[in-house]
C-alpha cells in the first residue's frame, strides 16, 4: 500500500494504469484468462455508479428484469448483422456434466452429457430478450416496454486490460420496445443524454455526444449514439452507447403488435449499455502519479481523518463530534485510529486510494482551534478554523467535484484540434494526439484507409457539429461537416 | 391478468404455484432448458430483498466484491468432498469461438477454438475465491476478510421449478476468512441469525434455525447451519444456509497466515448464501387462491388507489393530496387512473398481484368523508374516515406485516408434530405432513433408510432442541434429542 515507485504517466501510461488498478486495490488478476477480480474498494466505486444510474433509469420510467445467461446458438444467427458482429468470439457451453477421470486423478467432461444445441454465454442479450418479447407484446397497450437488466456478459477477447477490455464484464443493458419509429429514436437519444449527464455530473468526465459511422455501428442497429471521453494520454474512450435498432430484431424474432387502427406492425426497438469499462475512464480521466483520484460523488470514502501523531482523548472527542456532524449530512467519513501506522504512511495510503479530503488533527492544532486540510485533487494543504468546519468540508467536496470536471474539460477542449490536410492530421496525431476534427467524405472505404494508415478511427459525428463545406482530408471529396478522429481504447 | 380460473391450492398445489408465478407477472419460462426469465414485477420484489440483505451485511462489516463467472475445471477437484457434491452437474465451456457453418446456414462451433482446460460456469465460488485469498492473506493483520458477492450461478438441474430450483439462479454468497476457529464459527452463527431475522421480519416467514446432519451438509463444510421454513402444503423449504468450512478450503488452496506469535497457520473459513429461491418461499408462505400476497415491507407497490367508477376532478384532487402524504412517509403508492378498465377488473388484478392495501374512492364516499379500504391478506373491507387516513394506512401496513407473520407462524407451529414410533411417523407424514419432531439414532444409514421408506429427510437438528432421552423411531437406538423431519422442496 505504499506509493513509492509508481511508474509515472509520462514514463509509461499503460504501466501506470495497471499499477493504479492493482495498488489502489481496485481489481486483481484472476486465474481465468481475460477475467478479473473486482476488489472491494473498486467494487465500492462501481456500486455507487450503479446506484445512481439505476435511480436515473427508474426516474425515466424503466424497470429491471433478468433474462437467462445462456443463449441457444441458433438465436445468434437470426439477425444477420448481429451474428457477424457478435457471435464469433464467445464462450460456448457444450456439455452439462463432469465425471471422475477414469484414467487417473481429477475430473473430466462426461462425453455422454453433450448438449443437443450448444449454449452461448451472452455477449449481449438482444436475441434472447426479443425472443421473449414476442410473448409479452400483443397490442399497442403493451407498449412501450422499458426494461433494463444488470448483468455479467462475456466476449472472448484476445488482448485484455483491466476494466477497459475483459472477457467477462459487468454492465447494464436496456432493451426497449415501442409502437413508433420516432418514439424509439427519442428513447435512444434520451438515454444518450442520461449517460452524458451521469458521466459529467457524477464521474466529472466530460463527454462528446455523437453518432457512430456505419462502420463503427452496433451489429444489428440502424443508428448508434455514443458518448466519447478523452483520456490523459490523448486516446479516446467510448464510454456508453445507445442504439436505435429499427425493426431489425422485431423482424428477426417476429415481434408484432396490433396498433390503434387494429393493424399489425413490427415493434421498434432500442438497446443501450454502460459497463465496468467506466471504471477505466474514471481512473484515466483524473488520477495522477501519486495514485487514484476519485470525484467526491463516487468516492466510497470522501473524508478521512488522521490523528497526529496518534489518537488521544482530546483528539478523539473532537473527531467524534465532527464525524457525527459529517455523517448527518450524508458525508462518508472514516477516522483512522490505527496506532501501528505513522501519519505519513497513512497519508500515502489515502493519496494512493484517492480519498478526496484528508484532515490531519494534532493536539496543538486543536489548541489553536484549527485542523489541517489536504485536498487530493490539487494536493493543496491549509489550516482551517474548527468553527464552521462541517460547512467548509461539505462545500469543499462540491468544489472538488466541480474542479475535477473543469480540469478534465479544459484538457479535453485543448485537445480537440481542427485540421484541414492529411499531413497536418498525421502530425497532430503523433505530436499532440487527442481528438482531431476533420472533414471526411462519408465512405467506409476512406474511414478504413485512414485507420490503416494512422490507427485513428472516427469516434463520432458530434451531434452539435455545425454544417460546414469542406474537403475530405484523404480524398479531397466534398464533406458537409467535420467528424472527430482519435486513437482509441 | 384476470384471476378467474386459478387452480385452487387444494386441487393441485403445484399447479397453483406455477399459475401464481406466471399470472402475477413474477417470472416466465425461457427457451433455455431450466432457466427462467424474472419479470419486472418479480424482480421488483427480489430487488427489495436484495437491498435489505445488502444493508444488513454491510452493517455487520461485510463488503461486496466480484469474482469470475468461470472456474478452471481443475480447481473443482482440489477439495475432495466439494467435487463430489458440486462439480458434476454443471455447465462446461469447452470452446471460445463460433464460425459460419461451412455446410449450410447458421453458425457452428469452431473446432480450432478448443480451450486447453475447460471452464466451469460457477455453481458456487469457494474454489476461485480461496485461490484468490491466497494472494490477499499474509498476516493476521489481513484478517478477518468479510466479503460478499451478488452473482448468478448455474447448477444443471434435471427437474426444475420456477424460483425453487432453476439451472441458473441469482444469489449472494458470503466468503469470510478468519484467524481462529471460534471466530469463524461465530461468523457463521451470526449470519444464520441475520438470515432468520430477515426471513421473519421482512418476508414474514417464520423459520427454524438448526444444524444439518452430516448427510445434508454442504460439500466441503465441517458444519452447515440452516433456516427451514414450512410451506402451506406441509413441505419444508431450506431457505438459507451458513457453513463453517473449517480449514478445508485453506488447505486445498494453501492459504496460510502469520499469526500474532509469528507462526504460520491455515486460515479458517465460512461461506453462506440465500438465493432467488426465497421468492418461492415468499409465495408459498402467504398467497391464496385469489393470487399473490406480499408482506408490505417487500411489496413493490404497497397501496393502490382506485377511483370509482372512474377518475374525476373531485376524486383526483383528494387522491393527489393523499398520495403526497403517503409518499412523504416512504409508502409506495399508485393511483390507477386507467379509464378503459372497470374498478372490478382492477380489484382482481391487484388482488392477483398481492398489493397489500387497496383504497376505493367514489364521489359519494368523499361526500361522506370516507373511503373504502380493502386488506389483501384478510380480504376484509371497511369504510374509513378521511380524517387521519394517512396515519391509519401507515399503521395498517405494519399490522398486515405482523398479521401475516403471526398467521404463518400459527400454521407452522400447528404443523410441528412430535411422534415416538415409526408407524405414527408415517401416518402423520401422510395425513397432516409438516415438520415431524422425532428421535433419531444419529447415523446416516438410518437417515437414508427413513428417506427411502417415506421420502422425508432430516431438515435440521434445531439449535434450541432440548436434551431429551429417547429412542430412534426406526432402530430403537438411544437418542439425546429430537430432530425435525419433513418432506422438502
- Helix (H) or strand (E) holding A368, with range, is none
Reported confidence tier of residue B4, pLDDT bands at 50, 70, 90: low
A128/B31 CB distance under 8 A = yes
Q: Where are the domains of chain A?
A: 13-98+110-286, 301-396, 416-486
Judge whether A483 and A473 are in contact, CB under 8 Å.
no
B40/A63 CB distance under 8 A = yes
d(Cα A284, Cα A297) in Å, to the nearest integer?
17
d(Cα B217, Cα A370) in Å, to the nearest integer?
58
Phi/psi-derived region of residue B243, left when phi > 0, alpha when psi is between -120 and 50, beta in every other case: beta
For chain B, the distance separating the N- and C-terminal CA atoms, rounded to the nearest angstrom, is 28
H helix count then E strand count, chain B: 14, 27
Residue of A nearest to B39 (CA): A65
Judge whether B49 and B97 are in contact, CB under 8 Å.
no
In the 8-state DSSP scheme, what is residue A124?
S
State residue A83's pLDDT score.
76
State residue B54's pLDDT score.
98
- Helix (H) or strand (E) holding B65, with range, is none
State residue B143's pLDDT score.
98
In the 8-state DSSP scheme, what is residue B204?
-
Pick the closest to residue A110 from A126, A125, A94 (CA basis).
Answer: A94
Judge whether A377 and A293 are in contact, CB under 8 Å.
yes
State residue A195's pLDDT score.
98
Of the candidates B31, B87, B105, the beta carbon closest to that of A98 is on B87
State residue B489's pLDDT score.
95
CA torsion, ordered B177, B179, B183, B185, to nearest 10 deg: 60
A95/B98 CB distance under 8 A = no
* Mutation for A interface: B28, B30, B92, most A CBs within 10 A: B92
* pLDDT value at B1 more than 50: no
Distance of residue B158 Cα from the nearest chain A Cα, in angstroms: 11
Residue of B nearest to A84 (CA): B100
d(Cα A255, Cα A131) in Å, to the nearest integer?
8
CATH class of A416-486: alpha beta
Distance of residue A301 Cα from the nearest chain B Cα, in angstroms: 13
d(Cα B92, Cα A4) in Å, to the nearest integer?
43
Of the candidates A65, A68, A88, the beta carbon closest to that of B43 is on A65
Q: CATH homologous superfamily for B301-395?
A: Anticodon-binding domain (3.40.50.800)
- Looking at beta carbons, which residues of chain A come within 8 Å of B98? 73, 76, 87-88, 90, 92, 120
Provide the 10 A C-beta neighbour count for residue B208: 22
CA distances from B472 to A128, B446, B466, B477 (A): 53, 9, 16, 5
Burial of B340 (0-12, 13-18, 19+ CB in 10 A): exposed
B64/A70 CB distance under 8 A = no
Fold of B13-72+126-286: BirA Bifunctional Protein; domain 2 (3.30.930)
Q: What percent of chain B has pLDDT over 70?
A: 99
- Looking at beta carbons, which residues of chain A come within 8 Å of B168? 68-70
Of the candidates A39, A94, A147, the beta carbon closest to that of B92 is on A94
- Looking at beta carbons, which residues of chain A come within 8 Å of B93? 91-94, 121
Provide the 10 A C-beta neighbour count for residue B212: 21
- Looking at beta carbons, which residues of chain A come within 8 Å of B88? 97-99, 107
d(Cα B120, Cα B123) in Å, to the nearest integer?
8
d(Cα B298, Cα B286) in Å, to the nearest integer?
13
- Looking at beta carbons, which residues of chain B come within 8 Å of A98? 73, 76, 87-88, 90, 92, 120
State residue B3's pLDDT score.
45
Strand partners, A264: A258
A344-394 residue pLDDT tens? 999 999 999 999 999 999 999 999 999 999 999 999 999 999 999 999 999
Pick the closest to residue B259 from B156, B140, B424 (CA basis).
Answer: B140
φ and ψ at residue B265, rounded to 5 degrees? -145, 160
* Mutation for B interface: A1, A92, A300, most B CBs within 10 A: A92
Of the candidates B39, B40, B93, the beta carbon closest to that of A91 is on B93
> Which residues, given as ranges, of chain A have pLDDT below 70?
1-4, 86-87
State residue A87's pLDDT score.
60
Q: Across residues B11-22, what is the average pLDDT? A: 97
CA distances from A206 to A163, A231, A309, A410 (A): 19, 10, 40, 9
A147/B37 CB distance under 8 A = no
Distance of residue B89 Cα from the nearest chain A Cα, in angstroms: 5
State residue A2's pLDDT score.
45
d(Cα A117, Cα A75) in Å, to the nearest integer?
11
Provide the 10 A C-beta neighbour count for residue B54: 16
Q: Say whether A8 sits in a helix, a strand or coil.
A: coil
- Looking at beta carbons, which residues of chain B come within 8 Å of A154? 69
A vs B, Cβ pairs < 8 A, gives: 182
Distance of residue B427 Cα from the nearest chain A Cα, in angstroms: 39
Judge whether B162 and B281 are in contact, CB under 8 Å.
no
Distance of residue A426 Cα from the nearest chain B Cα, in angstroms: 36
State residue A1's pLDDT score.
42
A65/B37 CB distance under 8 A = yes
B64/A106 CB distance under 8 A = no
Of the candidates B28, B88, B98, the beta carbon closest to that of A92 is on B98
- Looking at beta carbons, which residues of chain A come within 8 Å of B32? 68, 70-72, 119, 128
φ and ψ at residue B317, rounded to 5 degrees? -60, -45
Distance of residue B460 Cα from the nearest chain A Cα, in angstroms: 30
Top-confidence residue, A101 or B64: B64
Buried b (16+ CB within 10 A) or exposed e, A449-477: ebeeebebbbbbbbeebeeeeebbbbbee
Of the candidates A28, A64, A83, the beta carbon closest to that of B107 is on A83
Residue of B nearest to A157 (CA): B96
A70/B135 CB distance under 8 A = no
State residue B249's pLDDT score.
96
CATH number 3.40.50.800 given to A301-396 = yes
- Looking at beta carbons, which residues of chain B come within 8 Å of A43? 63-66
B40/A64 CB distance under 8 A = yes
CA torsion, ordered A489, A407, A358, A348, to nearest 10 deg: 50
B66/A72 CB distance under 8 A = no
Provide the 10 A C-beta neighbour count for residue B444: 12
Residue of B nearest to A340 (CA): B141
Beta strands A303-308 and A357-362 are parallel
β strands within A30-140, DSSP E:
36-38, 63-64, 70-72, 92-100, 107-109, 114-121
Buried b (16+ CB within 10 A) or exposed e, A294-333: bbbbbbbbbbbbbbbeebeeebeebbeebbebbeeeebbb
- Looking at beta carbons, which residues of chain A come within 8 Å of B122? none
Chain-centroid distance, C-alpha B324:
33
- Looking at beta carbons, which residues of chain A come within 8 Å of B132? 28, 30, 37
> Mean pLDDT across chain B, nearest whole number?
96
CATH number 3.30.930.10 given to A13-98+110-286 = yes
Judge whether B16 and B8 are in contact, CB under 8 Å.
yes
pTM for this entry: 0.96
Residue of A nearest to B83 (CA): A107
B95/A97 CB distance under 8 A = no
Judge whether A462 and A209 are in contact, CB under 8 Å.
yes
- Looking at beta carbons, which residues of chain A come within 8 Å of B73? 98, 106-107, 109
Burial of A57 (0-12, 13-18, 19+ CB in 10 A): buried
B440-B444-B448 Cα angle (round to 5) = 90
Amino acid at each position: 500500500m505504499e506509493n513509492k515507485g509508481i511508474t509515472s504517466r509520462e514514463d509509461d501510461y499503460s504501466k501506470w494504469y495497471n499499477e493504479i488498478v492493482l495498488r489502489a486495490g481496485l481489481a486483481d488478476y484472476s486465474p481465468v484468462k481475460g477475467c478479473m477480480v473486482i476488489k472491494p474498494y473498486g467494487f465500492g466505486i462501481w456500486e455507487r455508479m450503479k446506484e445512481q444510474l439505476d435511480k436515473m433509469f427508474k426516474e425515466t420510467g424503466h424497470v429491471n428484469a433478468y433474462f437467462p445467461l445462456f443463449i441457444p446458438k441458433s438465436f445468434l444467427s437470426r439477425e444477420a448483422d448481429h451474428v457477424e458482429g457478435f457471435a464469433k468470439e464467445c464462450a460456448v457451453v457444450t456439455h452439462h456434466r463432469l465425471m471422475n477421470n477414469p484414467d487417473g486423478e481429477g475430473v473430466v467432461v462426461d462425453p455422454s452429457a453433450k448438449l443437443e444445441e450448444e449454449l452461448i454465454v451472452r455477449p449481449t442479450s438482444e436475441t434472447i430478450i426479443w425472443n421473449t418479447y414476442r410473448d409479452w407484446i400483443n397490442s399497442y397497450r403493451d407498449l412501450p416496454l422499458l426494461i433494463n437488466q444488470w448483468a455479467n456478459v462475456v466476449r472472448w477477447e484476445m488482448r485484455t486490460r483491466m476494466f477497459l477490455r475483459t472477457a467477462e464484464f459487468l454492465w447494464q443493458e436496456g432493451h426497449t420496445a415501442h409502437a413508433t419509429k420516432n418514439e424509439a429514436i427519442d428513447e435512444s437519444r434520451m438515454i444518450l443524454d442520461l449517460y452524458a449527464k451521469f458521466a459529467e455530473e457524477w464521474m466529472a468526465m466530460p463527454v462528446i455526444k455523437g453518432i457512430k459511422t456505419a462502420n463503427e455501428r452496433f451489429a444489428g442497429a440502424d443508428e448508434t449514439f455514443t458518448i466519447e471521453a478523452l483520456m490523459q494520454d490523448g486516446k479516446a474512450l467510448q464510454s456508453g452507447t445507445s442504439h436505435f435498432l429499427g425493426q431489425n430484431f422485431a423482424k428477426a424474432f417476429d415481434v408484432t403488435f396490433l396498433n390503434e387502427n387494429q393493424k399489425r406492425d413490427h415493434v421498434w426497438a432500442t438497446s443501450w449499455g454502460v459497463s465496468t469499462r467506466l471504471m477505466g475512464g474514471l481512473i484515466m480521466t483524473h488520477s495522477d502519479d501519486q495514485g487514484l483520484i476519485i470525484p467526491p460523488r463516487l468516492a466510497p470514502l470522501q473524508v478521512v481523518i488522521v490523528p497526529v501523531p496518534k489518537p488521544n482523548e482530546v483528539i478523539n472527542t473532537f473527531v467524534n463530534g465532527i464525524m457525527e456532524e459529517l455523517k448527518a449530512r450524508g458525508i462518508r467519513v472514516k477516522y483512522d485510529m490505527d496506532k501501528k501506522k505513522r501519519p505519513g504512511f497513512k497519508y500515502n495510503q489515502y493519496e494512493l486510494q484517492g480519498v478526496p479530503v484528508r484532515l490531519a488533527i494534532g493536539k496543538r492544532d486543536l489548541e489553536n482551534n484549527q485542523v489541517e486540510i489536504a485536498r487530493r485533487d490539487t494536493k493543496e494543504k491549509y489550516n482551517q478554523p474548527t468553527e464552521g468546519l462541517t460547512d467548509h468540508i461539505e462545500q469543499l467536496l462540491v468544489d472538488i467535484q466541480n474542479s475535477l470536471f473543469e480540469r478534465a474539460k479544459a484538457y479535453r477542449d485543448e485537445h480537440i484540434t481542427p485540421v484541414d490536410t492529411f499531413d497536418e492530421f498525421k502530425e497532430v496525431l503523433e505530436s499532440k494526439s487527442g481528438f482531431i476534427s476533420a472533414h471526411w467524405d462519408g465512405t467506409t472505404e476512406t474511414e478504413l484507409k485512414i485507420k490503416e494508415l494512422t490507427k485513428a478511427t472516427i469516434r463520432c459525428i458530434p451531434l452539435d457539429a455545425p454544417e460546414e463545406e469542406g474537403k475530405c482530408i484523404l480524398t479531397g471529396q466534398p464533406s458537409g461537416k467535420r467528424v472527430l478522429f482519435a486513437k482509441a481504447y
